[in-house]
């Protein structure tokens, strides 16, 4: 289940210093659009500052830099204040997504007292709630408390891929597809909803292979989940992916790949969405050319689940260089960013 040498290399990149930010307020809070109730609507998002993911004690996922926001000195009373802050800042919104740089359902990260306090406020102020968790905290005993509050809950799990080899050798998640399936069964038995995160283009997997993996993974989870969120890689600080990227050995996925996945999976029996973080930026999903319209279409198709405009744009665009780049990259050991390498070589030769 774990490649210990790889996990050790990833752990070495994690900084020892910790965030010195205010422990009484969340890392950040904002509003965005989502469709947690089956239609697009404004949704609040809060990132609570916690002690962080239990997996950090051993290692981290190869793309995850959320440890940059955590603090081991966070106390229970700080978390109560963060909860108050979040509900004070909700405004008109009655839909909330909670991120914690780890697992909301881990009682060592969010103690049961804080969780109950949060859920009481959620019951009074929210119609829908999404929280994230690793699979190890999804069991009937741990969930019995939150289930009794009168608020609809969707739990998000980072499966990343249904391929255990990719999860072990590339992502270092420390989990398996079998564990995900068991968690999905527990959630279904308890009447809780599930959002499944899949990761597009983890390191050491070509973009071509990753697109195929996403399609296969969507098929594998389609009858287990309420929706699937395709998360294209965005490069976070102090991670294995950043290390490769800085050496020119990794390129984030293209927006064309996201469009393909959305179009190919739209009739697979589950809703598939993608809201690319850092889209069109150098650390996020981007094409060779600037593609504002394509990014907007990916967002709007995800929100409305109407893919007609995206399909028209996709079919009427010249994608020959995209497919050529994917074939070339697939023939190489690493997913080099060839454009950046050419730029670098050009700059180096000018200085000679």
Q: CA dist 195 to 157, 176, 189, 229, 319, Å?
A: 6, 17, 15, 7, 31
Question: Is there binding between residue 60 and ligand SF4 (CB under 6 A)?
Answer: yes
Question: Is there binding between residue 196 and ligand SF4 (CB under 6 A)?
Answer: no
From the CB of 60, what's the least distance to ligand SF4, in Å? 4
Question: Is there binding between residue 47 and ligand SF4 (CB under 6 A)?
Answer: no
From the CB of 162, what's the least distance to ligand SF4, in Å? 16
Q: What angle do CA 201, 217, 95 make, to 5 degrees?
A: 85
Q: Which of 7, 13, 45, 64 binds ligand SF4 (CB under 6 A)?
A: 64
User: Quick one: tokens of 150?
Assistant: 């009168």
Number of residues binding to ligand SF4, judged by CB under 6 A: 10
Task: For residues 157 and 224, give the distance between their C-alpha atoms in angstroms, rounded to a whole number.
Answer: 12
From the CB of 64, what's the least distance to ligand SF4, in Å? 3
| Nearer to ligand SF4 among residue 101 and residue 206 (C-beta) | 101
Q: Which region, judged by CB under 6 A, interacts with ligand SF4, from 22-30, 58-66, 177-185, 261-269?
A: 58-66
Q: Which region, judged by CB under 6 A, interacts with ligand SF4, from 52-60, 104-112, 229-237, 287-295?
A: 52-60
Q: CA dist 23 to 75, 80, 81, 124, 328, Å?
A: 8, 10, 9, 25, 47
Question: Is there binding between residue 53 and ligand SF4 (CB under 6 A)?
Answer: yes
Question: Is there binding between residue 61 and ligand SF4 (CB under 6 A)?
Answer: yes
Q: What angle do CA 153, 222, 177 make, to 5 degrees?
A: 85
Look up tokens 């029996």; give the residue. 269
| Nearer to ligand SF4 among residue 134 and residue 286 (C-beta) | 134
Q: Which of 26, 158, 202, 276 binds ligand SF4 (CB under 6 A)?
A: 158
Question: Is there binding between residue 105 and ligand SF4 (CB under 6 A)?
Answer: no
Question: Is there binding between residue 55 and ligand SF4 (CB under 6 A)?
Answer: yes
Strands 227-232 and 28-34: unpaired
Question: Is there binding between residue 102 and ligand SF4 (CB under 6 A)?
Answer: yes
| Nearer to ligand SF4 among residue 64 and residue 143 (C-beta) | 64
From the CB of 199, what's the least distance to ligand SF4, in Å? 9
Report whether 132 contacts 176 (CB < 8 A).
Answer: no
Question: Is there binding between residue 179 and ligand SF4 (CB under 6 A)?
Answer: no
**Interface characters, 275-314, with ligand SF4 (x: CB under 6 A):** ----------------------------------------
Q: Which of 49, 94, 97, 134 binds ligand SF4 (CB under 6 A)?
A: 134
Binding residues (CB under 6 A) for ligand SF4: these are: 53, 55, 60-61, 64, 66, 101-102, 134, 158
């Amino acid at each position: 289940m774990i490649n210990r040498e790889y996990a050790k290399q990833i752990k070495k990149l994690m900084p020892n210093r910790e965030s010195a930010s205010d422990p009484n307020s969340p890392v950040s809070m904002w509003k965005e659009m989502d469709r947690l109730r089956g239609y697009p609507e404004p949704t609040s998002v809060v990132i609570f500052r916690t002690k962080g993911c239990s997996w950090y004690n051993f290692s981290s996922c190869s793309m995850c830099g959320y440890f940059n926001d955590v603090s081991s000195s966070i106390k229970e009373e700080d978390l109560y204040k963060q909860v108050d802050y979040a509900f004070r800042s909700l405004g008109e919104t009655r839909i909330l997504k909670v991120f914690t740089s780890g697992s909301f359902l881990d009682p060592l990260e969010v103690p049961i007292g804080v969780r109950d306090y949060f859920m009481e406020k959620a019951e009074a102020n929210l119609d829908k709630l999404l929280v994230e968790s690793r699979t190890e905290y999804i069991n009937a005993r741990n969930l019995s408390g939150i289930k009794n509050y009168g608020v609809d809950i969707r739990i998000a799990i980072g499966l990343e891929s249904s391929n255990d080899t990719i999860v072990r050798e590339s992502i270092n998640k420390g989990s398996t597809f079998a564990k995900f399936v068991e968690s999905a069964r527990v959630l279904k038995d308890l009447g809780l909803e599930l959002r499944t995160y899949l990761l597009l283009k983890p390191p050491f997997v070509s973009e071509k292979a990753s697109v195929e993996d996403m399609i296969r993974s969507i098929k594998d989870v389609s009858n287990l989940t309420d929706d699937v969120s395709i998360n294209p890689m965005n490069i976070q600080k102090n991670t294995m992916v950043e290390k490769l990227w800085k050496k020119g050995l990794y390129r984030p996925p293209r927006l064309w790949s996201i469009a393909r996945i959305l179009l190919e999976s739209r009739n697979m029996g589950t809703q598939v969405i993608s809201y690319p973080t850092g889209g069109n930026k150098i650390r996020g999903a981007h094409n060779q050319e600037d593609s504002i319209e394509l990014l907007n279409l990916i967002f709007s198709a995800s929100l409305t689940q109407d893919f007609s405009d995206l399909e028209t744009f996709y079919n009427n665009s010249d994608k020959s260089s995209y497919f050529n780049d994917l074939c070339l990259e697939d023939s190489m050991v690493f997913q080099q960013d060839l454009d950046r390498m050419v730029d670098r070589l050009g700059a180096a030769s000018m200085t000679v």
